Amino acid sequence: MKIAKLLTTSFIIWLILFLIDYLYELFQISESGERVTLMGLKIESHITKDEINTYFSLTPKLLLSFIIVLLSVSIIYFLASKLNKDKKIE
């Protein structure tokens, strides 16, 4: 697998995890406050009787989560390719 394909696969997996985490946390909000999701998105909400204001910002945890997903996908790919090479030798 080429580096570009590995990066693309990692990004798609990370994006799916990010969206699941975002939607889960967004629908858990029931009062004004601030929370940081598992993947590194900071959600700040202000709820009044007339309106709901929600602000989003990114944290350094976002980059860390992407690096972890990238390394995980890379390790799984290289282990799988090594196992396939070992099976072909036998």
Tell me: pLDDT of 1 over 70.
no
Mean pLDDT across 16-40:
92
Q: Name which of 90, 79, 66 is nearest 1 in CA terms.
A: 79
pLDDT attached to residue 35: 92
What is the C-alpha separation between 68 and 85, in angstroms, rounded?
A: 26
The domain of 66 spans: 3-80
Is 71 part of any domain? yes
Q: What is the count of structural domains for the chain?
A: 1
pLDDT attached to residue 29: 86
Tokens of 41: 């998105």
Tell me: pLDDT of 13 over 90.
yes
Is 54 part of any domain? yes
Mean pLDDT across 9-35:
92
Is 46 part of any domain? yes
Q: What are the beta bridge partners of residue 6?
A: none
Is 87 part of any domain? no
Tens digits of residue pLDDT in 29-50: 888 999 999 999 999 999 988 9
CB within 8 Å of 88: residues ≥ 6 apart: none
Is 21 part of any domain? yes
For 50-68, give one letter per residue: b (16+ CB within 10 A) or e.
eeeeeeeeeeeebeebbee
